[in-house]
Structure 1
Amino acid sequence: MKGQEWYQADDVAQEYDEKRFSKGGRLIDRREKEAVLDALGPVEDKKVLEIACGTGRFTAMLAERGADIVGLDISGPMLQQGRQRAQSAGVADSLEYMRGDAGRLPFPDDHFDVVFAMRFFHLADTPEEFLAEMCRVSNDQIFFDTFNRYSTRSLYNWALPMGSRLYSGEEVDALLDATGLELVSAEHDWIFPYGLYREIPNRVASTLRWLDDGIRTLPFGDRLASVSYWNARL
């Protein structure tokens, strides 16, 4: 998996949220949480697994809504940040964090109602294997996002420290077919790249987001989207 050592560094974990979700990055955080909540629906008493949970942005949010949730990540420092978040949110007793490999999930077949992963598949060197493992431990729903091949991200992806695996719609369709998943819904978003939003004040980013939304309403808008959210079922 791309960036495995980088994500496990203490300083990366400590600065991760601040670098990505401050300034205009707040809009990204809000939209990603909205996408997860829209796809998963009511989660009270559902057994949920988050793959690559990182600092626990989604894990804690779903625990607050009554989910029986496990957050799994390969990075100990990231998980420590997640535990601190859960403690601050008052849900430390309502969730579990585990260190583990997404390619070899330590759970039996059909163990969870929902398995989801955000900001993971752009790092996956063998995405079909990871998705198959997610399917193995789910008895119903799979949700994940991808960075898209024909988007603004492709213009600067080469310059990123680790780069990203970019996906076309056809590649995602092939992944779903290979793992026996049926696509329920898909949303395509963010014409302008994440990196731009993170570098500008939230007030300015809100204006940029307004322009972004306008472009996406055009007939070709979805084709320019840099991110897609995929909601599928077994």
Structure 2
Amino acid sequence: MKGKEWYQADEVAQEYDSKRFSKGGRLIDRREKEAVLAALGPVEDKNILEIACGTGRFTVMLAQEGANVVGLDISRAMMVQGREKARRAGVADRIEFLRGDAARLPFPDDHFDAVFAMRFFHLADTPAKFLAEMARVSKGQVFFDTFNDGSLRVAYNWLLPMGSRLYSEGDVRRLLGDAGLDLAGANHDFVIPFGFYRKVPNGIAQPFRSLDLAVGDSPVGDDLASVSYWDARAESADEASRAATRASDAE
């Protein structure tokens, strides 16, 4: 299966967290959550939209930090897992899960304090439309990650069952400009791609992560990183709406 079909399968949703965020994948989970909190925080009483919320890893975390969160996803099966996770965490009253299309968000302009998407743009078939819509409904902040085309990710990308879109920094900057977004900050990480960590026990993953961080802190670290986290700021609603039109015409 590829893309949307793969992502929406019941069996994929049921095993998503256990396959990706157990063993060495716990390192990935922790780092991604740190990246989201560092970019969005403090989040107490903020209204936040998560695009492609999946099983609610970040949605629930932000609700636990006091945010009011809307989680939007195309997969009913993923959101079933998210709702159960929110119920167990005691934060279901702070989260609304919606099934919807990220290219046509059902919200007015400037509706959320922040909008973010993690593990989404590598699957995005129309990234310009998605980013323009994120900018439109945000009062200011848009945060997302990408997988990078100059990294070891290329070596195993063809093995992934859902396919994967890779980006250069130039690609991201063009998308931001077309969406009416200004880049406020960027962080780059994981010279060793995610797939390796998911396959090995946590005890084995830890030394490799130390090596990964050492290379990442070197002068070539940013160039070799397989993942980048992009923190951007939206222009006015009128400018964002015009950017959305430009993105729609370009696709």
TM-score under structure 2 length normalisation: 0.91
1:179 CA drift (Å): 1.0
1:153 CA drift (Å): 0.3
In structure 1, C-alpha distance between the alignment counterparts of 2:180 and 2:99, rounded to whole Å: 27
> Which structure 2 residue ranges, 5 or more long, are not aligned?
235-251
2:67 paired residue number: 67
Kindly provide the CA deviation profile for residues 117-153 of structure 1, in whole angstroms up to 9, marking residues without a partner as x: 0000000111111000111111110000000000000
**Partner SS state of residue 69, structure 1:** strand
User: RMSD of aligned C-alpha atoms?
Assistant: 0.8
1:122 paired residue number: 122
1:116 CA drift (Å): 0.2
2:204 paired residue number: 204
In structure 2, C-alpha distance between the alignment counterparts of 1:56 and 1:146, rounded to whole Å: 19
Kindly provide the CA deviation profile for residues 173-211 of structure 1, in whole angstroms up to 9, marking residues without a partner as x: 101111111111100000001110000000110110000
Q: Give the AA of the match of 2:16.
A: Y
1:232 paired residue number: 232
The 5 A counterparts of 1:73-112 are 73-112=73-112
In structure 2, C-alpha distance between the alignment counterparts of 1:180 and 1:102, rounded to whole Å: 17
Q: Which runs of 4+ in 1 moved over 3 A?
A: none
Identity of aligned residues (%): 69
1:162 CA drift (Å): 2.2
The 5 A counterparts of 1:210-229 are 210-229=210-229
**Partner SS state of residue 158, structure 2:** helix
In structure 2, C-alpha distance between the alignment counterparts of 1:26 and 1:217, rounded to whole Å: 21
In structure 2, C-alpha distance between the alignment counterparts of 1:47 and 1:204, rounded to whole Å: 39
1:100 CA drift (Å): 0.7
2:58 paired residue number: 58
Q: Give the AA of the match of 1:216.
A: G
In structure 1, C-alpha distance between the alignment counterparts of 2:134 and 2:40, rounded to whole Å: 15
Matching of residue 26 in structure 1 with residue 29 in structure 2? no
In structure 2, C-alpha distance between the alignment counterparts of 1:126 and 1:98, rounded to whole Å: 20
**Partner SS state of residue 66, structure 1:** coil
TM-score under structure 1 length normalisation: 0.98
Instruction: Give aligned pairs, total.
Output: 233
Larger mean CA deviation between 138-147 and 101-110 belongs to 101-110
**Partner SS state of residue 134, structure 1:** helix
